[in-house]
Amino acid sequence: MNSNTPSSSAGGIGSADTTGARRNSKRPKYSRFTQQELPACKPILTPKWVISAFLLVSIVFIPIGVVSLYASRDVVEIVHRYDTDCIPADARNDKVGFIQSPRVKTCNRTLRVPKYMKKPIYIYYQLDNFYQNHRRYVKSRSDQQLRKTGSENDTSACKPEDNNGMTIVPCGLVAWSLFNDTYNFTRNNQLLAINKRGISWKSDRDHKFGKDVYPKNFQNSTLIGGAHLDPLKPLSEQEDLIVWMRTAALPTFRKLYGKIETDLQAGDFINVTLENNYNTYSFDGKKKLVLSTTSWLGGKNDFLGKAYLTVGGLCFFLATWRSIIFVMESESRSLNKLLTDILVNAFLGTT
């Protein structure tokens, strides 16, 4: 009796310890999901499947690339660089001094329309080597001030612009450097009207720029950065500013200036009277005037079509190359089987 008692009590203690250890364990509850035991599809990539997939991609991508390329080629675009030609010959050794001087900066250029251009014809200005994505530049603005009247003193993010103790609306380097070249177009001595309505994003006009926020003390300092604003118009109606305030990600960019609501015929000569005011000479920038039509795909851009053609052509090449290898391997196996049968028959015949 005494010999059996310790063993049973020991077994009871061991069982309690095991149960307690299992109860205190941090091991998660078993499930097929956590143990990765759910049924899964594991396709076997046979040569036929690979060849079919490559052919399917090429059949889809190549026509899309051709259509996209033709749509881009249908866009008529006139690009004219004028920053050097609009500097007088006697001032080309000191371009910065000329652009900062009070001299008249009116310049006349003539553009020839190469093909029929259907309205609307979009007018862009293009700037090269202008880094609107610079961190200090992008941060120098107050979105609250642009949106609400009561936030006009919220200018803490607008440094390093000096307000001289006055509230500036809109504040910051982005607004201060607003593009201020102007363009006027005539054809056969008739003025071509420029529509500047609707050139900005509707979401920007409705939500980012207030309908009751008006410019205040803007460009009043001794150092003028760019264009002036109409103090009698709310910011939501000053679309040149709204377009400019949507900063570009790359150092070469285009921004919409306006639209010409008249068709232009092939061979027409467009006389452009422009004011060369914007200082791109301090940082070796370039200025270009762009007239462009659009297609169902947008503006002129061959990249999308070339990308589709490249991918589709590469897939077609890989499908063809894999098919040749597959046929050669099949013929090689057939030839090996034939040779094996001949050798086996020859060996059995001799025996």
Average pLDDT of span 223-227: 86
C-alpha 34/C-alpha 24 separation (Å) is 20
pLDDT over 70 (residue 344): no
Q: Which strand (E) or helix (H) includes residue 320?
A: helix 303-350
Residue 270 β-bridge partners = 111, 187
pLDDT over 60 (residue 6): no
173: confidence class by pLDDT, cuts 50, 70, 90: very high
Ramachandran assignment for 262, one of left (phi > 0), alpha (psi -120 to 50 degrees), beta (any other) = beta
What per-residue confidence (pLDDT) applies to 7?
46
Spatial contact of 272 and 108, defined as CB atoms under 8 Å apart:
yes
Using CA of residue 5, residue 10, residue 13, residue 15, what is the dihedral sign? negative
Spatial contact of 171 and 145, defined as CB atoms under 8 Å apart:
yes
C-alpha 176/C-alpha 168 separation (Å) is 10
C-alpha 3/C-alpha 241 separation (Å) is 99
Helical ranges in 41-115 per DSSP H: 47-73, 95-99
What per-residue confidence (pLDDT) applies to 1?
45
Q: What is the pTM of this model?
A: 0.78
**Beta strands 286-292; 77-81: pairing state:** antiparallel
Q: Which strand (E) or helix (H) includes residue 228?
A: none
What per-residue confidence (pLDDT) applies to 26?
74
- Given 3-state DSSP classes, what are the helix, strand and coil percentages for the chain, each rounded to the nearest 5? 40, 15, 40
Percentage, residues of the chain above pLDDT 90: 60
What per-residue confidence (pLDDT) applies to 152?
82
pLDDT over 70 (residue 340): yes
pLDDT over 70 (residue 281): yes
335: confidence class by pLDDT, cuts 50, 70, 90: low
What per-residue confidence (pLDDT) applies to 10?
45
Nearest to 292 by CA among 111, 86, 129: 111
Nearest to 272 by CA among 167, 184, 175: 184
What per-residue confidence (pLDDT) applies to 8?
44
Average pLDDT of span 275-299: 93
What per-residue confidence (pLDDT) applies to 114?
93
pLDDT in tens, 11-31: 444 455 555 555 667 777 888
pLDDT over 50 (residue 257): yes
Within 13 Å and on the Cβ side, how many CA atoms surround 43? 6
* Contacts for 180 with CB less than 8 Å, ≥ 6 apart: 226, 227, 228, 275, 277, 278
pLDDT over 60 (residue 311): yes
Within 13 Å and on the Cβ side, how many CA atoms surround 290? 21
201: confidence class by pLDDT, cuts 50, 70, 90: very high
What per-residue confidence (pLDDT) applies to 158?
85
pLDDT in tens, 95-152: 999 999 989 999 999 999 999 999 999 999 999 999 999 999 999 999 999 998 888 8
Average pLDDT of span 231-250: 94
More confident residue, 212 or 19: 212
pLDDT in tens, 244-254: 999 999 999 99
Percentage, residues of the chain above pLDDT 70: 87
